[in-house]
């Protein structure tokens, strides 16, 4: 069964450093998402992406964040200058459509900012 994959599974970085989290969505899906989950808290929507551009973004997704689909398979989340409060689990998801379609989540990348 096709699945969303994410790399790395864990990332430790120093405050102020740039990180890139990578995702490979399910191959025939057209809509891609990033979510984050701070330890012990709710899963929060960050951004949605369709047709090579951002569809929607939450207030969390500030100028420090960017997303890209550099080729036909990868979908990346870049945090330009990490802060301590960026420490969280980051999940990528994809869906075939937006009209209430199921979103399939990857296993997540646990980011720790020191």
Q: Point out which residues bind other proteins (CB under 8 A).
A: 31, 33, 35, 42-48, 50, 55-56, 58, 89, 91, 93, 95, 98-108, 110
DSSP-derived 3-state class of residue 84? helix
Q: What is the biggest distance separating any 2 CA atoms in the chain, rounded to whole angstroms?
A: 40
The rounded Cα 98 to chain-centroid distance in angstroms is 17
Choose between 19 and 31: whose C-beta lies nearer to other proteins.
31
DSSP-derived 3-state class of residue 96? coil
Contacts of 61 (CB under 8 A, 6+ apart): 46, 47
Choose between 17 and 27: whose C-beta lies nearer to other proteins.
27
Choose between 14 and 40: whose C-beta lies nearer to other proteins.
40
Q: Minimum distance between the CB of residue 16 and other proteins, rounded to whole angstroms?
A: 26
Q: Minimum distance between the CB of residue 43 and other proteins, rounded to whole angstroms?
A: 4
Question: At residue 101, what are phi and psi to the nearest 5 degrees?
Answer: -75, 150
Q: Minimum distance between the CB of residue 82 and other proteins, rounded to whole angstroms?
A: 21
Q: Minimum distance between the CB of residue 81 and other proteins, rounded to whole angstroms?
A: 24
């Amino acid at each position: 069964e096709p699945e969303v994959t994410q790399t790395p599974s864990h990332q430790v970085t120093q405050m102020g450093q740039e990180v890139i989290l990578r995702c490979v969505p399910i191959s025939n899906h057209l809509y891609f998402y990033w979510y984050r989950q701070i330890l012990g808290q709710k899963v929060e929507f960050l951004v949605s992406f369709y047709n090579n551009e951002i569809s929607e973004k939450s207030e969390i997704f500030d100028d420090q964040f960017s997303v890209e689909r550099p080729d036909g398979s990868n979908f990346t989340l870049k945090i330009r200058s990490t802060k301590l409060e960026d420490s969280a689990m980051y999940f990528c998801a994809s869906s075939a459509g937006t009209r209430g379609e199921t979103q399939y989540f990857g296993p997540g990348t646990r980011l720790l900012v020191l």
